[in-house]
Amino acid sequence: MKVHLDINDSYQETVITIQCKEADQMILDLLHDIKRREAPFIVGQQGEMQHLLKPESIHLFRVQHESVHAITAEGAFKVKEKLYELEEQLPSGKFVRLSKSVIANLYELSHFEASFHGTLRVYFHSGETEYVSRHYVNGIKEALKLNRRKS
């Protein structure tokens, strides 16, 4: 695969063109990742106020009382999207599913603690803790491996 980058001050907008013989899974994944980056904010409700939340400011999304909440340093905000919708919208390199009820921002994770049951306890910089269910342990290990710097 060849990648060409053309940067020019005269361009009015960014255009991405993919030329390929056929749209294989790698191409479909690229398109999916590009589309995920289009959502610059998420609308969250706190009381009667609607707030625009930047994904990078969100520590995690958690299902509480049958609704989804975005947890930030400023508090919890109710969002209209379901977790599976957020999972599709958010950048996969920055957010990862921890359980059926939690999606976490990888850059807000502090450290992990393994348990004998095959689960992980996740600590956030904010002091929050969550558990990674066994079903999602491999996914988080893979996400962390992809974000590791190559030396």
User: In terms of Cα–Cα distance, which of 31, 1, 38, 28 is closest to 16?
Assistant: 31
Q: Which helix (H) or strand (E) covers residue 73, if one does? A: none
Could you say which architecture CATH assigns to the domain 25-147?
Beta Barrel (2.40)
Q: Domain extents for the chain? A: 25-147
In this prediction, residues 127-134 reach a mean pLDDT of 89
- The model's pTM is 0.71
Lowest mean pLDDT among 11-25, 33-47, 125-139: 33-47
pLDDT tens column, 20-47: 889 888 888 787 777 666 557 899 999 9
What are 103-123's pLDDT values in tens digits? 999 999 999 888 777 788 999
What Cα–Cα distance (Å) separates residue 133 from each residue in 36, 137, 138? 25, 6, 10
Instruction: Name the residue among 41, 44, 49 with its Cα closest to residue 78.
Output: 44
